[in-house]
Amino acid sequence: MADSNYVWLASWFRANYLHHHLRPIDLALHQRLRKPLSKSLLPLLEIGWYAAKGQPYTKSYHDLYHAFLLKEHRYLAHITRQLDSAHQELAQERVLAHWTYRQAAKGWDWLITYYPGEKFAEEQHARATRRQLAIHIAHRAQPLSPAFPARRDRVPPLLAEILAVCGDRQNQAAYQKVIREYSEGLLWMALAETRHAAREAWITKNTGAYFMETVKQLARLRAADPETSQAETLPGEETVTATSTAAPARDAPPRRASVLGRRWLVLQSGRVLCRA
């Protein structure tokens, strides 16, 4: 088995995920359902009812047995015997109110109309409540117009985070130079590793020196693997490889910190790293 596996997410999927265009899944309900067909029908019906704005959703039997790889039947008695056990299980969970069969206008096919149950109405009400709450919080969180101009000596967010992690404001000029010379994504990566190393008590000397050495190591690792630096990333983000054959420096950060930092950065750039 490989030590690590990479999955490149499609751009449309990553954009929807980052903008929270998601539909929550009721895991407890999924686990309570015992029949595989019930578990397959559940997301199909939820999406169908949502698209129909809560109205009954109709699906042809031809589409169902093709989508779920079912055995094809032509007689209604056989079709109801095949599907109704799953329909009844969904009805017991209040997902499905009732369902009807009617023959299609052409051919032998049958049309099945599904009527949403109480659970779907409850979920839609809860979703609307969450949406209204989010809008209310967003309006309240809008900053008021400042009555006075902002101070010119305000510390940039990245520099403020470096000072908070390293804790030595006397080296602010050195940190400003690092910000000018290295990419912002690489610096956030180094900060994440430094913060973790401090929590694990791996730093025996100065936190600022540890951070500076981490920045240099990550820059060398990035330069050593041009293929990684050319990979697709989000705007303003960088990817860094965590594989190197060079011997670590005397005060170099431990290897585990680099691994954790790599995992954090890979997720930020749209790559998912699964370690065996």
Tokens for 55, please give them. Answer: 């109205």
Instruction: Specify the fold of 33-124.
Output: Arc Repressor Mutant, subunit A (1.10.10)
30: which 2 tokens? Answer: 């999924």
With tokens 């903008």, the residue in question is 19
Which of 45-49, 131-135, 137-141, 240-244 shows the lowest per-residue confidence on average (mean pLDDT)? 240-244
Which residue's entry shows tokens 């030595």?
168
Residue among 41, 151, 20, 30 at smallest CA distance from 88: 41
**Where in the chain are the domains?**
33-124, 157-275
pLDDT tens figures, 10-27: 888 878 777 767 777 888
Q: Is the model's pLDDT at 92 over the cut of 90?
A: yes
Give the percent of the chain with pLDDT over 70: 74
| CB atoms near residue 195 (< 10 Å) | 18
Query: Using one digit for the tens of pLDDT, what is the confidence trace for 29-79?
Result: 999 999 999 999 999 999 899 889 889 999 999 999 999 999 999 999 999
- Tokens 């890979």 sit at which residue? 266
Residue 9 to residue 6: CA distance in whole angstroms: 10
Decide if 242 contacts 192 (C-beta within 8 A).
Answer: no
Question: At which residue do the structure tokens 């951070």 appear?
Answer: 211
pTM: 0.47
The runs of H, that is alpha helices, within 2-107 are 11-18, 27-32, 36-51, 61-67, 76-92
Q: How far is CA 136 from the centre of its chain?
A: 24
